[in-house]
Amino acid sequence: MTCNEIKELTVPYLELDLEPSRIRDITTHLEGCAGCRAEMEAVRQVLVRVRGMAVPDPGDQFWREFPHRVRRELERLQSTATTLGGPSRYQWFWGRAVTAKWTLSLAASLLLVVGAWSLKGLLDRGTGPPEQSVVQGPNAADLPSLGDGVWEAFWEDDPDMVLVEMATQLDRQTMDRLFADI
């Protein structure tokens, strides 16, 4: 074994946390290597000194009273929980619902439904009947068609409506001609 390998295994060696054959190999190496022996001794010293650092004992009285201290705190918490009352059915249901894994499944299902709804709306819009023109005033049927020669009678009452109707008529005529060509 090399010195570097020994260095890596110093702690497990001291802890006897190695295969017996490895421990034998390291022991053999240490017998002939002063550097590794010194390194090993340094680590052993660390462990001895660290182990020697004791926690001050709080005393017998503390230990005698400690279980009672725990009990008092436990009882206090339990009585607080009882005083506040158990969860209502509503709280119980939502407590379960929030913590249950199916909350995520529910959210995913809702998203799917909303998505499907939106998609349906889009498809309907694409294949449904053409939208009606907004410029279909209630007076449109009463107005003369283009070229009637009588539209002047309406001009004085509502020139805007006449203009709109004329534009609509023109548009219809153009569309009819176009479709006829096709």
Which residue matches tokens 């002047």? Answer: 152
Nearest to 45 by CA among 10, 17, 18, 19: 10
Interaction of residue 167 with another protein, rule CB under 8 A: no
Interaction of residue 49 with another protein, rule CB under 8 A: yes
Output the DSSP codes for 105-152.
HHHHHHHHHHHHHHHHHHHHHHHSPPPPPS---TTGGGSPPTT-S-TH
Stretch that binds another protein, among 50-58, 115-123, 124-132, 172-180 (CB under 8 A): 50-58
Residues 76-115 that bind another protein (CB under 8 A): 77-78
Structure tokens, 14: 């001291």
Nearest to 1 by CA among 143, 62, 19: 19
Number of residues that bind another protein (CB under 8 A): 27
Residues 4-43 that bind another protein (CB under 8 A): 11-12, 15, 17, 42-43
* Interacting residues with another protein (CB under 8 A): 11-12, 15, 17, 42-43, 45-47, 49-51, 53, 55-56, 58, 62-63, 66-67, 69-71, 73-74, 77-78
